[in-house]
Amino acid sequence: MPKTYLFSVVFTLLLLFSSCVAEVKDINIPAPGIGIESEYTTLNIFISQPEHPKTGSLDVWQEIADSFTEENPNVSIEFNIIGQSRYKAALRAKLDGSGSPDIFMIDGEDDLSMFADKLEGLQTLMLQDVLPGVLGSVRVEDEIFGFPISLTGYGFLYNTEIFGMAGLDANDFEIFDALEKMIGELENKIFAGSLSGDFPELITTFSMGEKSNWAKNVRIENFILPFEFDTPEKLRKAERFDFVYNERLHKIFSLINKNSKNAAGTYPESEFAKKTAAAIMGDTSMLYEIYKQNPNIEIAFAPIVINNWRQRSVPLGCNGFFAVNSSVPAANKIAAANFLQWLFSPDGGGEFLTQKLFWTPPYQSILQNTQNRIAAQIYQYYRDGAFIPQTASEVHMLNFYEKIQKSITEYAEGREKWQYVVEYIKSSFAYYKN
């Protein structure tokens, strides 16, 4: 879940999602929609997704492909969907070998350098509908090298039915003292069984799934780094990690840990979807998994805010970009450009993205009339300027992120005190940088 600051500030902040200096091939695809049609071709699309056992979006992507090919019978589409942990290595192998994909996902600036030899330049005409500033991390001077996929916000997802039935005001998420009081009231009602008639499975406020995997599953670094480094460039250049906000984050993590149950062998989304818990700390990319398990659950988003600390500021980032392979034949490039422009249009794939994948595609024509409640909330944070840029997803520091996850896990399981977490993260950052 996301946050924002008025359009002039929005533009400035999101431009801080960076500028890249990689050498990228300077070849533009002819813009689709101006009388240029591809010859018959098959598009191969490489997609990264979470590795949860029940998550599988191939059926939705097949619906998308069927809808596009019905309008464009000269094109067929094949998908390769790879788990996040294996995706980059698998993509590099595919790009360097046979059967290279025509369209593939990249994360942003760091990937521009990693895959510079395979990125095709896109004409600005194709991307004129994108929200201001979102293209900063895939722009090199006047060239653009990716279609932004989805805005991802980081905060709380909560069950509006449970909170409403308990008579609790979700706006209290925005001030820590009120949040703590509200969670205490909800826990008391759950313990007393006063909500069991409507929610027989409800046993706790927060879903953490298996606590030994919680920090990894929610990508806990995304809830820490944006408040310390509010641009990717600052994170890249920093030589030390002061952890200024550690006590305030400690309050949040402690509140969640205290008001949750360990659910061995499960993910946070699973317990939340089953309504055994009323809320989850996570990000909006979890929505597909939640709705797949429970299509009728009613959810809203709330920011993680402590008193006046970045009041109503949601860490907000672009969850990847679709790039076009510069090494495939011209016919494939044209077909790829046509497909991507169709995919991110309200009359094309926009409804699939918002209603079936539960994304927040950062295109004004899609978001201004979206029926997706959380996408509308994210868009509102963006328009209000109530966000801070999500830096962790922009910068590849995987070993350091794993250290953060390890220390938070040890704290969540009661094996270490919070001061250990603080010192461990600081020293791990210094070691990584040196």
**What average pLDDT score do residues 128-140 get?**
89
pLDDT band of 321, cuts 50, 70, 90: very high
**Can you point out the beta strands (E) in 24-182?**
41-49, 75-83, 103-106, 139-140, 143-144, 147-148, 151-159
Instruction: Confirm whether 386 is domain-assigned.
Output: no
Residues 273 and 364 in one domain: no
Instruction: Tell me how many domains the chain contains.
Output: 2
Residues 170 and 138 in one domain: no
8 Å CB contact between 205 and 259:
yes
Q: What pLDDT, on the 0 to 100 scale, is given for residue 41?
A: 92
Global pTM?
A: 0.86
Instruction: Confirm whether 24 is domain-assigned.
Output: yes
pLDDT at 18 over 60: no
8 Å CB contact between 256 and 214:
no
Mind listing the pLDDT tens digit for each residue in 190-225? Answer: 999 999 999 999 999 999 999 999 999 898 998 899
H or E, element range at 198: none
Most confident listed range (89-98, 128-137, 290-299): 290-299
> Pairing relation of β-strands 75-83 and 103-106?
unpaired
Instruction: Confirm whether 377 is domain-assigned.
Output: no
Mind listing the pLDDT tens digit for each residue in 329-338? Answer: 999 999 999 9
DSSP 306: B
Give the integer Cα–Cα distance in Å for 57 and 55: 7
Instruction: Confirm whether 374 is domain-assigned.
Output: no
Give the integer Cα–Cα distance in Å for 107 and 87: 11
Residues 198 and 305 in one domain: yes
8 Å CB contact between 271 and 213:
no
pLDDT at 386 over 50: yes
Give the integer Cα–Cα distance in Å for 400 and 423: 13
* Residue 206 dihedral angles phi and psi, to the nearest 5°: -105, 140
**What average pLDDT score do residues 389-414 get?**
88
Residues 413 and 300 in one domain: yes
Give the integer Cα–Cα distance in Å for 189 and 115: 53
pLDDT at 118 over 60: yes
**What average pLDDT score do residues 82-86 get?**
85
Residues 214 and 236 in one domain: yes
pLDDT band of 388, cuts 50, 70, 90: confident
Q: Which domain holds residue 235?
A: 153-316+397-433
8 Å CB contact between 221 and 405:
yes
Residue type, 94: K
pLDDT band of 55, cuts 50, 70, 90: low
Residues 308 and 331 in one domain: no
Q: The domain that contains 114 carries what CATH number?
A: 3.40.190.10
- Give the bridge partners for 281, in sequence order: 156
Q: What pLDDT, on the 0 to 100 scale, is given for residue 175?
A: 76
Residues 114 and 23 in one domain: yes
Q: What pLDDT, on the 0 to 100 scale, is given for residue 178?
A: 83
| Nearest-5° Cα angle at 401, 268 to 228 | 100
Nearest to 29 by CA among 106, 123, 115: 123
Q: What does pLDDT average to over the chain?
A: 85
DSSP 51-79: --TT---HHHHHHHHHHHHHH-TTEEEEE
Mind listing the pLDDT tens digit for each residue in 29-51? Answer: 444 443 345 568 999 999 988 76
pLDDT band of 391, cuts 50, 70, 90: confident
**What average pLDDT score do residues 94-121 get?**
89
In the structure encoding, which two tokens stand for residue 281, read together? 């700390």
Instruction: Confirm whether 38 is domain-assigned.
Output: yes
Q: What pLDDT, on the 0 to 100 scale, is given for residue 32?
A: 44
Instruction: Confirm whether 104 is domain-assigned.
Output: yes
Residues 212 and 307 in one domain: yes
Residues 219 and 335 in one domain: no
Give the integer Cα–Cα distance in Å for 162 and 198: 9
**What average pLDDT score do residues 423-432 get?**
95
Could you give the angle at which helices 398-412 and 246-258 cross, rounded to 10 degrees? 50
Q: What pLDDT, on the 0 to 100 scale, is given for residue 153?
A: 92
Output the CA–CA distances (angstroms, integers) from residue 220 to 24, 123, 396, in the order listed: 32, 36, 15
pLDDT band of 142, cuts 50, 70, 90: confident
Tell me which of 3-12, 229-238, 260-269 is least confident: 3-12
8 Å CB contact between 137 and 170:
no
Tell me which of 2-6, 68-72, 199-203 is least confident: 2-6
Task: Find where tokens 């027989």 sit.
Answer: 200
Instruction: Confirm whether 73 is domain-assigned.
Output: yes
Give the integer Cα–Cα distance in Å for 125 and 203: 52
Residues 104 and 240 in one domain: no
Rounded to 10 degrees, the C-alpha dihedral 198/199/200/202 comes to: -160
Residues 278 and 165 in one domain: yes
Instruction: Confirm whether 10 is domain-assigned.
Output: no
Q: How far apart are the first and last CA of the chain?
A: 33
pLDDT band of 306, cuts 50, 70, 90: low
Q: What pLDDT, on the 0 to 100 scale, is given for residue 272?
A: 95
Tell me which of 8-22, 156-170, 193-207, 276-290 is least confident: 8-22
Residues 334 and 202 in one domain: no
Mind listing the pLDDT tens digit for each residue in 147-199? Answer: 999 999 999 999 999 999 999 987 777 778 888 999 999 999 999 999 999 99
pLDDT band of 56, cuts 50, 70, 90: low
Nearest to 159 by CA among 266, 287, 312: 287
Task: Find where tokens 């806990």 sit.
Answer: 220
